[in-house]
C-alpha cells in the first residue's frame, strides 16, 4: 500500500514564482502500525544495532521518578484497541468487560497515569526510529560520507536539565552508520523499566515514504514577500470565503513525521537554530509529529486511520524537531519543540 498526499489546492508558485527558489523537498514518512524488522526503515521497530556496541543510557533520573512501565502502557493500549474494535453497547458506549474496566481504572487512578517509579541508576534509551537512505530520498543529503543508515534513540522522560533545548522534551541521540558494517546485529532492543511518559513509547510502524515539495515558514521569507502573501490570502478569502487555502496550513508545510523540508514555527514564531560548535544556521533533519494529517486543517489528509499511528505525542500535541549542522555532521544536533 502506498500513500499519496492529495494535490495542493493550488500551486503557490503561480501567484509567487519567486517562491521556487525557496522550494525544498521533504520525505513524509507515513508511518503505519505493522511489524518492521531490523532490515526495514521504521518507527518503533528493532534497530540494526551492532551487538558489540554499548547501548546508550541516560543518568538524569533519580530513584522514585514517576513514570509508567512500557509493558503496562502496551497493555493499556491493547485493551483500548480491543474495546474500540467491539460493537458498541445499546446506548452507544464502549463495551468494556468488568475486568477491563477495573484494570483501566487502576491504570488511570494515579495523576498523569503514572503508576510506576524509576528504580534509579542509568536508564537505557528507547529505540525510536531507523531510516535507510535507500528508502528515504531526502535522507542522503544529510548522511555523512560512507553512511546510509540513521538511528534515532531517545530517553522517554520530559525533564532533562542538560543542554539548551533538551529540557523541553526527551533527550535524543542520533547515530549514522553504514548498514553493511553491522554483521552481528543486536537481537533484542534494551528499553527502560519505566518511561517518564507513556506517550513517548512508539508503536511499531512500517513506513510508506513519499516525497513532497515544501516552502518556508513565512518568517523565513523576505518581509516584503511575506506581506504580499498575507495580502493575497486576505484578498482570496474575501473573494471565495472559507474555501480559500492558507499558505501556512495548505500550501507550504506538510504535517506528520518527515525527513528534510522546512520547519514550522507556528507556536513561538521563528527562532533560528544555530550550531553550538560553529555558529552555522542548522537545518531540520527529522520532524516527529503528534498527528499525521491534522484532520481539522484538511488538505494534507486523509490519512489511513489512526491519525496517530506511532502513538507518540510531543509537547502540547505538537512537533519535536532534530536540527543538524550543514557544514559538519559531527557537530551535535539540537532539538526544538513547537
Ligand atoms: Zn533521560
Ligand atoms: Zn556546526
Which of 236 and 293 is assigned the larger pLDDT? 236
Q: Residue 155's pLDDT is what?
A: 96
Closest ligand to Cα 273:
2
What is the CATH classification number for the domain harbouring 45?
Answer: 2.30.320.10
Q: Which residues surround ligand 2, an ion (CB under 5 A)?
A: 275, 277-278, 280, 325, 328, 331
Q: Quickly list DSSP for 275-328.
A: -TTT-PBPEEEEEEES-SS-GGG-TT---SSPS-TT----TTT-EEEEEE-SS-
Closest ligand to Cα 61:
1
Question: What's the DSSP call for residue 88?
Answer: P
**Cβ–Cβ contacts within 10 Å for residue 111, how many?**
7
Q: For the chain, give the percent of residues with pLDDT over 90.
A: 82
Q: Residue 162's pLDDT is what?
A: 61
Lowest-confidence segment of 4-8, 29-33, 207-211, 272-276 by average pLDDT = 4-8
Q: Is residue 243 part of a domain?
A: yes
Task: Report helix angle 70-85 to 98-108, nearest 10.
Answer: 140
Closest ligand to Cα 325:
2
Average pLDDT, the chain: 92
Average pLDDT rounded to a whole number, residues 228-236: 97
For ligand 2, the distance from its centroid to the CA atom of residue 326, given in whole angstroms, is: 7
Q: Residue 167's pLDDT is what?
A: 57
Count of structural domains within the chain: 1
Q: Is residue 288 part of a domain?
A: yes
Closest ligand to Cα 333:
2
For ligand 1, the distance from its centroid to the CA atom of residue 324, given in whole angstroms, is: 21
Q: Is residue 161 part of a domain?
A: yes
For ligand 1, the distance from its centroid to the CA atom of residue 170, given in whole angstroms, is: 7
Q: Is residue 21 part of a domain?
A: yes
Q: Residue 247's pLDDT is what?
A: 96
Closest ligand to Cα 280:
2
- How many residues does this entry show for the chain? 338
Q: Is residue 81 part of a domain?
A: no
For ligand 2, the distance from its centroid to the CA atom of residue 272, given in whole angstroms, is: 14
Q: Is residue 99 part of a domain?
A: no
> Residue 214 sits in which domain range?
17-68+114-337
CA distance 314 to 139: 22
Q: Is residue 84 part of a domain?
A: no
CA distance 187 to 190: 10
Q: Is residue 11 part of a domain?
A: no
pLDDT tens for each residue of 7-63: 999 999 999 999 999 999 999 999 999 999 999 999 999 999 999 999 999 999 999
CB 190 within 8 A of CB 55: yes
User: Does 164 score more than 70 pLDDT?
Assistant: no
Residue 113: pLDDT band with limits 50, 70, 90 = low
Q: Pairing mode, if any, of strands 42-43 and 116-117?
A: unpaired
CA distance 92 to 209: 37
Amino acid at each position: 500500500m502506498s500513500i499519496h498526499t492529495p494535490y495542493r489546492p493550488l500551486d503557490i508558485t503561480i501567484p509567487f514564482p519567486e517562491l521556487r527558489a525557496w522550494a525544498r523537498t521533504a520525505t513524509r514518512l507515513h508511518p503505519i502500525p505493522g511489524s518492521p524488522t531490523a532490515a526495514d526503515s521504521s518507527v518503533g521497530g528493532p534497530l540494526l544495532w551492532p551487538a558489540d556496541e554499548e547501548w546508550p543510557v541516560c543518568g538524569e533520573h533519580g530513584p522514585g521518578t514517576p513514570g509508567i512501565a512500557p509493558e503496562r502502557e502496551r497493555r493499556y493500549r491493547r485493551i483500548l484497541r480491543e474495546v474500540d474494535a467491539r460493537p458498541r453497547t445499546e446506548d452507544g458506549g464502549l463495551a468494556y468487560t468488568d475486568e477491563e474496566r477495573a484494570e483501566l481504572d487502576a491504570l488511570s487512578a494515579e495523576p498523569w497515569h503514572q503508576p510506576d517509579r524509576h528504580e534509579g541508576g542509568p536508564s537505557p534509551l528507547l529505540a525510536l526510529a531507523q531510516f535507510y537512505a535507500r528508502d528515504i530520498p531526502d535522507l542522503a543529503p544529510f548522511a555523512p560520507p560512507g553512511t546510509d543508515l540513521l538511528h534515532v534513540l531517545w530517553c522517554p522522560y520530559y525533564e532533562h536539565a542538560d543542554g539548551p533545548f533538551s529540557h523541553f522534551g526527551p533527550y535524543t541521540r542520533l547515530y549514522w552508520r553504514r548498514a553493511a558494517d553491522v554483521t552481528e546485529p543486536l537481537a533484542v532492543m534494551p528499553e527502560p523499566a519505566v518511561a517518564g511518559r507513556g506517550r513517548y513509547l512508539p508503536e511499531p510502524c512500517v513506513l510508506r515514504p513519499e516525497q513532497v515539495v515544501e516552502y518556508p515558514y513565512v518568517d523565513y521569507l523576505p518581509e516584503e514577500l511575506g506581506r504580499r502573501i498575507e495580502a493575497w490570502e486576505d484578498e482570496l478569502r474575501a473573494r471565495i470565503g472559507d474555501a480559500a487555502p492558507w499558505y501556512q496550513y495548505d500550501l507550504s508545510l506538510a504535517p506528520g513525521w518527515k525527513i528534510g523540508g522546512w520547519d514550522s514555527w507556528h507556536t513561538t514564531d521563528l527562532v533560528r537554530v544555530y550550531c553550538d560548535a560553529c555558529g552555522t544556521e542548522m537545518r531540520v533533519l527529522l520532524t516527529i509529529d503528534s498527528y499525521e494529517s491534522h484532520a481539522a486543517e484538511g488538505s494534507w489528509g486523509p490519512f489511513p486511520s489512526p491519525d496517530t499511528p506511532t502513538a507518540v505525542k510531543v509537547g502540547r500535541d505538537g512537533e519535536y524537531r532534530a536540527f543538524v549542522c550543514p557544514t559538519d555532521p559531527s557537530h551535535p544536533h539540537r532539538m526544538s519543540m513547537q
